[in-house]
Amino acid sequence: MGSLYLMTTIVDKKNLQKYMELYQENHLNVMFLTLGIGTAANEMLDYLGLDSKDKAISFSALEEDSWLTVKKQLEKKLQIDAPGGGIAFIIPLSSIGGKKTLQFLLERQDYQQEEESTLTNTTHELIIAIANQGYTNMIMDAARTAGAYGGTVIHAKGTGMQTAEKFLGVSLAAEKEIILIVTKTELKNPIMQAIMKDAGLDSKAKSIVFSLPVTDTAGLRLVED
C-alpha cells in the first residue's frame, strides 16, 4: 500500500456533480465541499475555454493506489486536462487524529498505515480540524491551550456522512466548518491532542483533525518570536 493523501479538486461549479459521482464510484464517499471564485482575467478564461468564475472545491482523503486509479479516470472519463476541465492535486498527510478519524475519512478504502509522515524535516505543519458548524470557538480555545495562535475558518458541506457514521457511532451534521491552523512542528501533536480532548468526537463539535506538512512559511516570524 502507498502513502495517504488529501486530494483537492477545483472545478466549475456546474460540473461538480459528475466529479462527485466518479469519486463515489471509487468509494470516495466522504468529501468536504466548499465554493470559491476564480480570479483569471477574461482573456485567460476565453483561452482556457472557461465560461464561469464560480468554482466548487472538494477535499477527500485517499491512498496512493486509489489516486492513480482516480487520476486516470479524471483524464479519460471527464477530460480534466481539456480546456475548462479543472484541476485535481494531492498533498501528503503527515498525521491523523485517531483511528476512528482514519476510518471515517477512508471509509471503504483498504489502507494499511505506514510511517507517520512522508516529509519528516519540516519546521511547520498545517492542522486541519473539520467540525460541526458553530463550534469554531470551542476548537480554537482548545488549540490555544496547547500553543496555537489563531486559525482561518472555511464553511463547507460534508458528503457521505450517513454511511461513514458507522465508524464513529455518532450522528454527524452535513454543515461543516474547516479550521486551518499553521503551527510549529513540535506543537502539532499537543494541539491536535487538545482539540481531540476538548472538541473531539465526544463533544458537540464532533471534530476530526489531521495535519499536512508545510515546507516553508512567510509572515510568522513576529508571532513566533
For position 198, which CATH number holds? 3.30.70.120
Among 92, 112, 145, the domain boundary falls at 92
Cβ atoms of 45 and 14 within 8 Å: the answer is no
Same domain, 103 and 67: no
The pLDDT score that the predictor gives to residue 166 is: 67
Contacts of 146 (CB under 8 A, 6+ apart): 187, 190, 191, 193, 194
The pLDDT score that the predictor gives to residue 105 is: 86
Same domain, 112 and 74: no
pTM across the whole model: 0.84
The pLDDT score that the predictor gives to residue 43 is: 65
Gap between the Cα atoms of 101 and 104, Å rounded: 5
Helices 64-76 and 16-25 pack at an angle, to 10 degrees, of: 140
Residue 219 sits in which domain range?
A: 95-224
Eight-class DSSP state of 203:
S
Contacts of 182 (CB under 8 A, 6+ apart): 124, 125, 126, 127, 214, 217, 220
Same domain, 197 and 123: yes
Same domain, 200 and 99: yes
The pLDDT score that the predictor gives to residue 107 is: 76
Same domain, 42 and 125: no
Same domain, 158 and 171: yes
Among 58, 92, 126, the domain boundary falls at 92
Tens of pLDDT, residue by residue, the chain (225 residues): 358 999 999 998 889 999 999 999 998 988 999 998 876 556 655 655 555 578 899 999 999 899 999 999 999 999 998 877 789 999 999 999 988 888 888 876 665 555 444 455 788 999 999 999 999 999 999 999 999 988 999 999 998 877 666 666 667 788 999 999 999 999 999 999 999 999 998 899 999 999 999 988 787 655 555
